[in-house]
Structure 1
Amino acid sequence: MNGKIYDLIVTTTFGLEAVVKRELLDMGYDNLKVSDGKVELQGNARDIATINMKIRCGERVLIKVGEFKALSFEELFNKTYELPWEDYISVDGKFPVEGKSIKSKLFSISDCQSICKKAIVEKLKSVYNVDWFEETGELYKLEVALLKDIATITLDTSGEGLHKRGYRERAGDAPLKETLAAAMVLLSYWNPSRTLYDPFCGSGTILIEAAMIGKNIAPGIDRSFVSEKFPYVGEKIYKEVRIKCLSEIDHDVKLHLLGSDIDKRSILRARDNAEMIGVNEDIQFFMKDMRNVDLEDNYGVVITNPPYGERMGEIKEVERLYKDFHKKFKPFKTWSVYLITSYENYEKLVGRKADRKRKLYNGRIKSCFYQYYGPRPPREGD
């Protein structure tokens, strides 16, 4: 069954669809369909394992089991029943059904969930010739999502969200998701030959993701996935994909990654996290106020997630910090600066318009990714 082609959905945080599309193109996939919060494609069992293991900015890999119009509960039941559930769920499988409904006639989420569950149970009872499902086996997490009366039923192949790489046992007070940190690096003009500095490094996520990109370490190499237990994907395929990913790591690349923070606990967390994924020798973490860090004007790149000052008493302090941050890097004419913040008047505050900005969500916080481009480093022979 490994040759079976599935309709796949890679879900994303809003604003990162184009980044995930580029990742999939770079992996060799084509015929990609991009819409809000997702990229759709087709692939087999090995592709499911490969995308789960290698995608840096996607949130989950789903199998689209079916998609159809549903204006009544009877229609929802019948069309769900018609789907080939025996291809996806084993006889002892555990299959909870989540739900959501937006701008649809069938707006009761709990009713949609229970009707889909009943339809799947009735179908599997007839196929497996059983009267009762113990649901003691592997987990098959399903979701019925209704959008403008179109029902899409999906099966999650990832398990925990793909931002959970496994290295961040200790996160700070306001952690940046690993998927967003990786996207910030991929959206920048940083490459492994350039210095990268994060002056508000916190638990080190941006620099760790950059090290993994620079060394070509697959982000899922150190974690498990729920579809390792699916009979039609399985541990054997995941083991083969993991071995291939291990062989593709560049152990020889030399990286110059710097991270500072004024909080000692954050630096200790960052060092622990980097050690956990094996990039601790590639990043220099140190406790220092960014105002006092000595830097060279050497075509470096800053990528950072500074404090936002969400509470009223912090706004003035954050504004002063942002002005000092801008003042710090203004003399470095060859540096490129990238930062994400929810502070809406950043450009006006520092008196410089960004070369480009992109709306992103940091968790549920609506933010903006400001991009200030320095000149391109001279090439050898220039």
Structure 2
Amino acid sequence: MQKFDLIATCASGIEALVGRELRDLGYHVQVENGRVRFEGTVEDILRTNLWLRTADRIKIIVGEFDAKTFDSLFEQTKQLAWDTLLPIDAAFPVEGRSRNSQLHSVPDAQAIVKKAIVNQLSETYHRRTRLPETGALYPIEVAINKDRVQLTLDTTGESLFKRGYRVDKGGAPLKENMAAALVLLTSWKPDMPFVDPVCGSGTIPIEAALIGQNIAPGFNRSFICEKWDWVPAELSEKLRDEADSKANYDVKLDIAGYDIDQNMIEISKRNALEAGLADVISFKQMAVKDFKTDKINGILVANPPYGQRLSDQESVRKLYHEMGTVYRPLKTWSKYILTSDLEFERFYGNQATKKRKLYNGALRTDYFQYWGKPIWHHEGKREKA
């Protein structure tokens, strides 16, 4: 089976997580800014689309080369074996971006790449008329950075964060793959209590439940490459059956989501139902200041409002203060809180054990981590809640 050079693209700050996920799936990886390189067959393309929780897309690298002139871009693009990927009726829009390069005009770069591919396909398929472009979609990107050109073919389609379970959302929803990253950056294990005290539309608890039950995040959606003539439908089916057999639907999880807004709790319940997790997660209306628990050795993950507008800042910082007051006594719990307010620790009233810089979309945020001290059995096992 043909091997491809592949990249998993991702948000800045979580490349190491994507690398870890790929290594756990058995791949050799090279972690770079905003992406992780690996090699694989058609089967690996489908498997990684199905299983990666924190990536955005899986792309095939069709070619990489240096180009400082449009002639060079045209000739080197034309030399690539596009006909092995694109059938005669392929619809192949070309997107582009350029940074710190002599070929800085993105529309021109897109047009040149498009023309070169049309040229190569027309010669290969002996076409004298225009290519029809009436078939399946093959999205191509030309990315130029410091005169280095990378031509890729997107296998995913809609970004991997679109799991397919979100039927409704609140004002500032967290992307599903970012929510999964927040969970994977904690020390949570499925036998531990998990709480999101400001759950909004329920994304963080839902992603935790998918992780806890080992459910493939792409199980309930399709990928653009599944419509391509060289991607066998039976292979897709086989990998989905395999994923279904690996899920542990019977594992008992203790996952709760709370929000001050009853409307958001209803949305969370609808989303959990769509994800097949309605009986797995407990959602309840509750203000942060009212949270109490007798459970021990838990994990709390929160993505509270950031107070970006000055008018909101006072109420948000009051919320941070309430969080500190309520969570500090939970000595065996580890708390993880994401916000763009870099003064968060001052209002929370405690310095974080560790901070990690992450990007929530284009917004720079910090993940403030407060590590608890779990209570252990004398045999060295964690005390259960």
Output the amino acid matched with 1:39.
V
* Structure 2 contact 296–374 (Cα < 8 Å) conserved: no
Q: Give the one of 356, 359, 364 matched to 2:357.
A: 359
Quote the offset at 1:139 in angstroms.
0.2
Quote the offset at 1:310 in angstroms.
1.4
* Structure 2 contact 98–104 (Cα < 8 Å) conserved: yes
**C-alpha distance in 1, partners of 2:339/2:45?**
34
Provide TM-score, normalisation by structure 2: 0.97
* Structure 1 contact 142–156 (Cα < 8 Å) conserved: yes
> Does residue 118 of the first structure (1) align with residue 115 of the second (2)?
yes
Provide TM-score, normalisation by structure 1: 0.98
Corresponding residue for residue 383 of structure 2: none
Residue by residue over 1:260-303, the C-alpha shift from the partner in whole angstroms, topping out at 9 and shown as x without a partner, is: 10111110110000010111111100011121123115111100
Quote the offset at 1:380 in angstroms.
6.8
Q: What are the equivalent positions in structure 2 for 1:122-161 lying under 5 Å apart?
A: 122-131=119-128, 132-161=130-159
SS of 2:351's equivalent in the other structure is: coil
Q: Give the one of 74, 84, 89 matched to 1:87.
A: 84
**C-alpha distance in 1, partners of 2:8/2:135?**
26
Quote the offset at 1:377 in angstroms.
4.3
Residue by residue over 1:139-187, the C-alpha shift from the partner in whole angstroms, topping out at 9 and shown as x without a partner, is: 0000000000000000000000000000002011100010010011001
Moved over 4 A (4+): none
**C-alpha distance in 2, partners of 1:353/1:238?**
48
Gaps in structure 1 of 5+ consecutive residues = none
* Structure 1 contact 300–334 (Cα < 8 Å) conserved: yes
* Structure 2 contact 51–218 (Cα < 8 Å) conserved: yes
Q: What are the equivalent positions in structure 2 for 1:39-188 lying under 5 Å apart?
A: 39-131=36-128, 132-188=130-186
Gaps in structure 2 of 5+ consecutive residues = 381-385
Quote the offset at 1:234 in angstroms.
3.4
* Structure 1 contact 297–334 (Cα < 8 Å) conserved: no
Q: Give the one of 17, 20, 35 matched to 2:18.
A: 20
- % identity of equivalent residues: 43
Output the amino acid matched with 2:188.
W
Quote the offset at 1:229 in angstroms.
1.1
Output the amino acid matched with 2:122.
K
The number of equivalent residue pairs is 379
Corresponding residue for residue 305 of structure 2: 307
**C-alpha distance in 2, partners of 1:208/1:333?**
25
**C-alpha distance in 1, partners of 2:336/2:277?**
22
Residue 376 to residue 26, structure 1, CA distance change in 2 (3 Å): farther
Q: What are the equivalent positions in structure 2 for 1:339-378 lying under 5 Å apart?
A: 339-378=337-376
Q: What are the equivalent positions in structure 2 for 1:163-312 lying under 5 Å apart?
A: 163-312=161-310
Quote the offset at 1:364 in angstroms.
1.7
What is the alpha-carbon root mean square deviation over aligned residues?
Answer: 1.0
SS of 1:279's equivalent in the other structure is: coil
**C-alpha distance in 1, partners of 2:173/2:143?**
29
**C-alpha distance in 1, partners of 2:229/2:374?**
50
* Structure 1 contact 297–333 (Cα < 8 Å) conserved: no
**C-alpha distance in 2, partners of 1:376/1:148?**
49
